[in-house]
Structure formats: C-alpha cells, structure tokens
Amino acid sequence: MVALTPEMQELFKGTKYFAMATASKDGEPNVAPIGMAILIDPETIWIGNQFFHQTLSNLKENPRVALQVWTFGVPGCLKIKGDVQIVEKGPDYNKMYNMVKERKPNLECKGLVIMKITDVFDCRSGAEAGKRLL
C-alpha cells in the first residue's frame, strides 16, 4: 500500500465528485460517478454504495478500482488505483451508513467499499500525463 502526500490529501478533500472505473473479470469496463468517497487515512478511501449495479458486480469479480480525483478550477489531477473489500454489515458499514444519512438523509447506503491505495498517477494533460507519482 502507498500513502497519499499531504498535497494529494488536500486535492482529494477538495473534490466533490469522482469517476470510479471498474472492470469485470473478462475486462469489460465500467465507470460510475461517485459522490460519497471519504479519505479515512492517507492509505484508505471509503466509498458508499447507494446505487451500484454493474459496479458492484465488477467489484465482486475483480476487486480493483481506479478513482479519478479532479475538480474544475483546482490545479492537479490524480488517478488513484487500489484493491477493494466490500463490507455490508458490521461497525465500519454502520459508520458509513450514518455518514451517508448525515449528508443525504433521503439516501440508503447499501454497502461500503474499502479501498486500499496501491498506486497514484498524475492525470493532468501535458508532458507529465500518466507519470507514476507513488
């Protein structure tokens, strides 16, 4: 696992919506908009499952994701890759369920995806595009 730098953590915390890419075991890609991604520590991201269909199926077949961290008007863009674990009961799930209810009382959190960061890449345009940062 790798740990995000303080600058990367600030970029993450300043991002409201993320694009999360998954793939089935056969490599069929899927991308979904994510509004509930929380940086728990520099190595761990929690993602709430309120609407996953194909995403959940892919994660069960292939527990790897890529998350794009970018917000209009903010310099910097990261592609964070990681291994995930799906949690649908227990104290961590309950904590995420309550976080979702606090932010959006009308939403139901069906599960928690715990992402352990394995790689970080620069995804800004230009000469450094795609460069491995961590």
pLDDT of 126 reads 85
Residue 104 neighbours by CB distance under 10 Å? 14
pLDDT of 124 reads 87
pLDDT of 51 reads 94
Whether the predicted pLDDT of 33 surpasses 90: yes
pLDDT of 87 reads 98
40-53 pLDDT per residue, tens: 999 999 999 999 99
* Ranges of each domain in the chain: 6-122
Helix residue ranges per DSSP H, the chain: 6-13, 54-61, 91-103
CATH pick for 6-122 out of 3.30.365.10, 3.20.10.10, 3.40.50.300, 2.30.110.10: 2.30.110.10
58-100 pLDDT per residue, tens: 999 999 999 999 988 777 899 999 999 999 999 999 999 999 9
Which has more pLDDT, 128 or 51? 51
The CA distances from residue 76 to 7, 50, 117, in Å, are: 10, 28, 18
